[in-house]
Amino acid sequence: MSKSPGTEFVSLAREGWQNVTKCTKCKGAGMVTRLVQLGPGMYTQSQGKCGDCQGLGENMKEEDRCKVCKGKKVVKVDRVLEVAIETGCPDEHDYIFT
């Protein structure tokens, strides 16, 4: 049986990561807190992904970024797995792939 597990993320170690700086907007957390005034004396607070670093918590110059992952440190890879299913195996049987 062939099964495509979908998208897998593969970590990359590339040169240029010594030029990474901590994001000044989120202070390296990758998340920012937004406070919005709804009316006089009424506010709402929410957290979201930092727009400057796209949630990574760090920034890098464009010329230092990896051309493959574009500075995200991961690349999407599609793989096909060949799995031998035993005769009489129950439908709900779990297979663990590492």
Q: Which residue has the tokens 């400057």?
A: 52
Which contiguous run of DSSP H or E holds residue 78?
strand 74-78
Is 2 a residue whose pLDDT tops 50? no
AA identity, residue 44: T
Of the candidates 1, 3, 20, the residue with the CA atom closest to the CA atom of residue 80: 3
pLDDT of residue 25: 93
Lowest mean pLDDT among 24-33, 59-68, 87-96: 59-68
Is 62 a residue whose pLDDT tops 90? no
For the stretch 29-54, pLDDT in tens is 999 999 999 999 999 999 999 998 88
CA distance 72 to 53: 10
Answering whether pTM is above 0.85, one says: no
